[in-house]
Amino acid sequence: MVSQKVKFKIPMKNHIQKNKSYTVSTNLVYEHNNTRNTVNRLITALAALFAFISLVPLILVIGYVIIKGASQINLDLFILEPEPPGYDLDFAGGIGNAIVGTLVITLMATFISIPVGVGGGIYLAEYSKGGILSKFVRFGVNVLAGIPSIIAGVFIYAVVVVSKIIFGSTFSGIAGALALSILILPIVIKTTDEGLKLVPDDLRKGALGVGASMFTTIINVTLPSAFKNIATGIVLGLARAAGETAPLIFTALFSYYHISSMQDILSEMSSLSVLIYNFALEPYEAQNQLAWAASFVLVLLVLMLNIFARIIAKATSDS
């Protein structure tokens, strides 16, 4: 046991009494059996255990999908269209149309939500003064971020599909994109708002001080500074939308055929999530295997988008 004696003086308010010296013995050796150290080790072990438990579902889901779906991967899977349901595994077709449909719908949803979301985030961060309107918008964004995805699908079904408001079309890829854009929108608004708030106010004052307008300051100073957070939010929103099923069942429905022209976005369009849902319910092994293969591709797509978001964040922070 090693100890060290420390002497210090405590001045007294009473000037008649002289300063007294006190000696305190402090232990500099780690006491393994100390109650506080034991509790600290226990809490640390529990935190590590809970962290591992939180990863177990992810590991099990991804591992099972890889086991069931990776064996079905081949070139024809990414090119061919799915064949009508049947028992023959050799003539089940592929999921090429669903892959293309997923990319087209999610990209359309992103292009719809980016201008609105970034514009809303700019208003909240740069122009609003904490008034009633900005509080209402923030409250609405938080509520919108928490609604079930099926509500967005039912809303677009009632407003767009049933009314045939978009060039007389009913179920269509554009309707699916509108439903997914509702899910992406709050993510983009919140990340833009928070990203712009992190920009130092001195940059704004410096730009305005040299005569730049508010618009020029936002375009040339604050938005480039917050690009990391905005881009990350967009990619994460895209990753969330790519895996949604319920909104597309009510809006885009499903198609067995490839997209051949721009007119096809106004008709039923296939997607990976709806293909998985439909084929998983089929009583045929061939379609069940295609569903597992599509699940593997969808998990891989979402994983790549999340990795891409991390790369964007790291690249912009380094620059």
Tens of pLDDT, residues 78-113: 888 888 777 666 677 888 888 888 889 998 998 999
Q: pLDDT higher for 20 or 33? A: 33
Which of 24, 46, 71 terminates a domain? The answer is: 71
Q: In this structure, are 157 and 114 located in the same domain?
A: yes
Look up the pTM and report it. 0.77
Among residues 148, 153, 139, 239, which one has the least CA distance to residue 189? 139
Q: How confident is the model at residue 180 (pLDDT cuts 50, 70, 90)?
A: very high
**93: three-class secondary structure by DSSP:** strand
Q: In this structure, are 179 and 282 located in the same domain?
A: yes
Q: In this structure, are 13 and 152 located in the same domain?
A: no
Q: Which residues contact 282 (CB under 8 A, 6 or more apart)?
A: 85, 288, 291
Look at residue 43 in the predicted model and tell me its pLDDT: 92
- Express each pLDDT in 138-168 by its tens digit: 888 888 888 888 998 999 999 888 888 887 7
Q: In this structure, are 148 and 244 located in the same domain?
A: yes
Contact 110, 184 (CB under 8 A): yes
- Tell me the pLDDT of the chain averaged across its residues: 82
Q: In this structure, are 49 and 85 located in the same domain?
A: no
Q: In this structure, are 182 and 246 located in the same domain?
A: yes
Which of 51, 71, 91 terminates a domain? The answer is: 71
pLDDT of residue 122 exceeding 60, the answer is yes
Q: In this structure, are 194 and 124 located in the same domain?
A: yes
Q: What is the DSSP letter of 292?
A: H
**Hey, what are 150's tokens?**
């099926």
Distance (Å, whole) CA 98 – CA 269:
8
Tell me the mean pLDDT in the region 234-250: 86
Q: Which residues contact 153 (CB under 8 A, 6 or more apart)?
A: 179, 246, 247, 248, 249, 250, 251
Percent pLDDT > 90 in the chain is 10
Which of 71, 87, 108 terminates a domain? The answer is: 71
Q: In this structure, are 38 and 128 located in the same domain?
A: no
Among residues 302, 227, 305, 255, which one has the least CA distance to residue 61? 302
Q: In this structure, are 98 and 240 located in the same domain?
A: yes
Q: In this structure, are 91 and 202 located in the same domain?
A: yes
* Domain enclosing residue 25, as ranges: 3-71
Strand partners, 9: 21
Look at residue 3 in the predicted model and tell me its pLDDT: 45
Q: pLDDT higher for 311 or 45? A: 45
Rg (CA), the chain: 29
Q: In this structure, are 8 and 154 located in the same domain?
A: no
Q: How confident is the model at residue 27 (pLDDT cuts 50, 70, 90)?
A: low
- Number of domains present in the structure of the chain: 2
Q: In this structure, are 249 and 270 located in the same domain?
A: yes
Q: Which residues contact 203 (CB under 8 A, 6 or more apart)?
A: 221, 222, 225
